[in-house]
Amino acid sequence: MVQKGNIGVTTENIFPVIKKFLYSDHEIFLRELVSNAVDATQKLKTLASMGEFKSELGDLTIHISVNKDTITVSDRGIGLTDEEINKYINQIAFSGANDFLEKYKNDANAIIGHFGLGFYSAFMVAKKVEIVTKSYKEGAQAVKWTCDGNPEFTIENAEKEDRGTDIILYIDDDCKEFLEESRISSLLKKYCSFLPIPVAFGKKKEWKDGKQVETTEDNVINTTTPIWTRKPSELKDEDYKNFYRELYPMSDEPLFWIHLNVDYPFHLTGVLYFPKVKSNIELNKNKIQLYCNQVYVTDSVEGIVPDFLTLLHGVLDSPDIPLNVSRSYLQSDSNVKKISTYITKKVSDRLQSIFKNDRKQFEEKWNDLKIFINYGMLTQEDFYDRAKDFALFIDTDKKYYTFEEYKTLIKGEQTDKDGNLIYLYANNKDEQYSYIEAAKNKGYNVLLMDGQLDVAVVGMLEQKFDKVRFTRVDSDVVDNLIVKDNKSANTLQAEQQEVLAVMFKSQLPNIEKAEFHVTTQALGTTAFPVMITQSEYMRRMKEMANIQAGMGFYGEMPDMFNLVLNSDHKLIKEVLDVEEKACGESIATIRKEMEGINMQRDSLKKVQEGKKPEDISATEKEQLHELDGKLDDLKKQKDSLLVEQASQNKTVHQLIDLALLQNGMLKGESLNNFIKRSIDLIG
Ligand code: ADP
């Protein structure tokens, strides 16, 4: 018997279409053919279990073999009769094909899924395909279907002893790469590692006399019952760890894992791992793998799991995720939404339970965990609502607190006069050491916020918490960090403050992109003589500018620092004394002169008061101008005396440099000068 016919497609020829449009994803032909073989085998097992197939099942291993020009996929499943070939292979439902192909031309999965074209994907790599098959049905006649890449096919009777199907692909000249053993091997690893029926690729090899030789044992490439298909109660920690190693051989041991298992209202199984990540690069390299009934589909799960969980590792398996559709469709699919909510809940439940049952372990791993939890809280409202109970703060003494615990801890000492709770934090324990110490001595607690996402977390928590402000320990002198009353302590007169400001400002080295404002405050005799602080507001604007687009303006601004002089400190007093002795008199004279001019100026102004500009005579204007000029000159004279004074005063230089040094801002020539001067001072 020989039949001839045309494959039932409404477009003229499906094959060029398959080749052309599915170009980039050629390799999935193997997944499709092996999955078909698995399906056929499972169908037979089902029939056997229902008593409809009564013979021996025997060895059900699926075999893949590569020869010179061909790849063969053989199974011992249900096989096909010629009628079934006609029905399932020859008739391809193909309506609106052109439109659809055009729309999804870059998405082979979508096309294959839409048309049930799994088998036809063989033509992506083959110029001719043969199906040699024999149905499991009693007395079935084996048949051979042949098609050489145009809509014509032939079916003829064939000789085949065993039930099941051989799919033989005659590989196209431009696809010869698929005839390489290593290529097939890696494709099988990628797509078929966890299929539920054993898949063998050739024979196992062993080393003999310095050579690799084939053994008689099948080289089975898959694990048929991967851990996500098993009951959590049967599994030990070691099993989870081994599986993780199998998926990501180069990675450190995971922190925690979550075994997912849902039957209703959708099917989902899987194991998700919290990885221990050393770098961002690693974070993106290993990905969650998505399976559909143990067939690997993809490792781009964006849209299926919430954004922050794409940072996790592991496996998800669901027949209910519509895999063969576009990404945008996925995001609006209601099953996908449910799955995403479910996973978020599962992940937070698991974290919550570890936190509750083994807080010590949770704290130990917090450092690695916090990137996930923080990212989750920042991007997903419902996750924040759950995570706020187990997310942790760590302070500069390495103690951990929940949000609630911390609030209770600092309420007494760190509430300001307006009832705001002030959270003090440092982002670098070493650089901000003296500020941290000062705050601690005052009875405050200082948090350590040195994570990648902490700038954003601080902003978020200020929004979430009521009447709470975060202030970095170095944003002001310790007395001003938490303002408890309105009194401002300053023991110096305005004139002395001015003298100090001019002297110190003039001696500050030029630091690129940094500007200083000099102020004096009475900080007590034990505090440092000079401190550098940076306003919380400006610093944060700049930090946000670095992580957010559209705030470039702030990023361009110089850093604004305050150089705070402690008027209680004896070295500052000494600077004033020395200045007073050296040029006090001259300064006083200049001041007097300035005062006189100011008085003249005032009276002149008084006369002009109420007059329209055009009524003021030219002489009057001239007089005023002259006085302003004189004042300017005197101020310059005064300042230059002070600058001269300051430039000779080693204490001023030393104090400035020490303050810069304390903030890691003393570099290059200035640092060198400082060292030389320090040595001189010792000598
Ligand atoms: P799908 O698997 O999505 O239905 P395919 O084009 O992959 O689409 O296969 C079409 C049909 O051909 C299958 O539904 C099955 O009935 C039959 N078939 C394919 N491969 C085999 C096989 N190895 N053994 C038995 N039947 C098969």
What are 453-498's pLDDT values in tens digits?
898 899 999 999 999 999 999 998 888 899 887 666 667 888 999 9
| Rounded Cα gap, residues 253 and 81, in angstroms | 51
Please name the residue whose Cα sits nearest to atom 11 of ligand 1: 88
pLDDT computed for residue 15 by the predictor? 62
In this predicted structure, the answer to whether residue 525 has a pLDDT above a threshold of 60 is yes
How many residues are present in the chain?
683
Q: Of the residues 39, 86, 197, which should be mutated to test ligand 1's pocket, given the most ligand atoms within 8 Å of the CB? A: 39
Ligand 1 center to 209 CA (angstroms): 45
Looking only at the bridges linking them, the beta strands covering 468-472 and 446-448 are unpaired
Ligand 1 center to 119 CA (angstroms): 6
Q: What distances in angstroms separate CA 214 from CA 203, 210, 223, 437, one per listed residue?
A: 6, 13, 21, 70
Please name the residue whose Cα sits nearest to atom 14 of ligand 1: 88
Model-level pTM greater than 0.85?
A: no
Q: How many CB atoms lie within 10 A of CB 27?
A: 20
Separation of CA 29 from chain center = 34
Single-letter code of the amino acid located at 247 = L
Lowest mean pLDDT among 223-237, 381-395, 529-543: 529-543
Ligand 1 center to 79 CA (angstroms): 10
Structure token pair of residue 404: 């609630």
pLDDT computed for residue 11 by the predictor? 47
**Residue 401 dihedral angles phi and psi, to the nearest 5°:** -140, 145
Which own/partner pairs from 624-629 qualify as long-range (CB within 8 Å, at least 24 positions apart)?
Answer: 627/597, 627/600, 627/601, 628/601
Single-letter code of the amino acid located at 594 = M
| Helix H or strand E segment including 20 | helix 14-21
**Residue 279 dihedral angles phi and psi, to the nearest 5°:** -150, 165
In this predicted structure, the answer to whether residue 10 has a pLDDT above a threshold of 70 is no
Ligand 1 center to 36 CA (angstroms): 5
- The angle subtended at Cα 108 by Cα 104 and Cα 114, nearest 5°, is 70
In the block, tokens 């304390």 appear at 662
Please name the residue whose Cα sits nearest to atom 20 of ligand 1: 36
Q: What band does 677 get if pLDDT is binned at 50, 70 and 90? A: very high
| Rounded Cα gap, residues 168 and 73, in angstroms | 7
Task: Domains for the chain: give ranges and CATH numbers.
Answer: 3-220 (3.30.565.10), 227-371 (3.30.230.80), 391-481 (3.40.50.11260), 494-682 (no CATH)
The DSSP result for 90-110, as a single string, is IB---SSHHHHHHHTTT-HHH
Q: What distances in angstroms separate CA 345 from CA 267, 341, 351, 370, 387, one per listed residue?
A: 16, 6, 10, 17, 10
325-330 average pLDDT score: 62
In this predicted structure, the answer to whether residue 94 has a pLDDT above a threshold of 50 is no
Q: What band does 412 get if pLDDT is binned at 50, 70 and 90? A: very high
pLDDT computed for residue 101 by the predictor? 55
pLDDT computed for residue 117 by the predictor? 61
In this predicted structure, the answer to whether residue 526 has a pLDDT above a threshold of 90 is no
The DSSP result for 486-547, as a single string, is S-----S-HHHHHHHHHHHHHHPPP-TTEEEEEEEE---TTS-SEEEEE-HHHHHHHHHHHH
604-632 average pLDDT score: 84
In this predicted structure, the answer to whether residue 374 has a pLDDT above a threshold of 80 is yes
Ligand 1 closest atom vs CA 43? 25
In this predicted structure, the answer to whether residue 103 has a pLDDT above a threshold of 60 is no
- The candidate with the shortest Cα–Cα distance to 217, out of 111, 61, 97, is 61
165-177 average pLDDT score: 95
Please name the residue whose Cα sits nearest to atom 21 of ligand 1: 36
289-311 average pLDDT score: 86
| Rounded Cα gap, residues 454 and 426, in angstroms | 11
The ligand 1 site (C-beta within 6 Å) comprises 32, 36-37, 40, 75, 77-80, 88-89, 116-120, 165
Confirm if 415 and 423 have CB atoms less than 8 A apart.
no
Average pLDDT value for the chain: 87
430 exposed, middle or buried (CB, 10 Å; 0-12, 13-18, 19+)? exposed
In this predicted structure, the answer to whether residue 105 has a pLDDT above a threshold of 90 is no
Q: pLDDT (tens digit, 9 = 90+) per residue, 29-68?
A: 999 899 999 999 999 999 999 999 999 999 999 999 999 9
Confirm if 419 and 467 have CB atoms less than 8 A apart.
yes
Confirm if 507 and 646 have CB atoms less than 8 A apart.
yes
| Rounded Cα gap, residues 579 and 645, in angstroms | 7
Q: Of the residues 82, 119, 199, which should be mutated to test ligand 1's pocket, given the most ligand atoms within 8 Å of the CB? A: 119
Q: pLDDT (tens digit, 9 = 90+) per residue, 271-284?
A: 999 998 776 655 66
pLDDT computed for residue 106 by the predictor? 58
Give percent of the chain with pLDDT exceeding 90.
60
Confirm if 55 and 139 have CB atoms less than 8 A apart.
no
